[in-house]
Amino acid sequence: MKHALIWAGWYPQNENDYSGIFIKKHIEIIAHHLNVNVHVFSIKHYNHVWWYKKIIIKESFGNVHYWIIPAFFPLKLLGYFIIPLIEA
């Protein structure tokens, strides 16, 4: 079976959260045909420059890796590339 890497900027964090629900529904449909690996990057305005948080959300198609990163300029621009390297 083929694989798909999905990077999203929006995804619901819990069952009662409807923001980004359409992205979740699209991923569920894609997961019927492909193995999916989902990473969500959410940029938040926090005071601490090096603060970041990773949440793993268990879904029917696998785990969703939800990264919350600060809006500090270099980290905001490079965070999409640095964090996957940290996890590897």
Domain count, the chain: 1
pLDDT for 56 equals: 93
Residue 73 has pLDDT above 60, yes or no: no
The pLDDT confidence band at residue 19, using thresholds 50, 70 and 90, is confident
Q: How far is CA 14 from the centre of its chain?
A: 13
Q: What SS3 state is found at 56?
A: strand
The end-to-end CA distance of the chain, in Å, is 22
pTM above 0.75, yes or no: no
Tell me which residue range forms the domain holding 41.
3-21+29-87
Higher pLDDT, 73 or 60: 60
Contact 71, 43 (CB under 8 A): yes
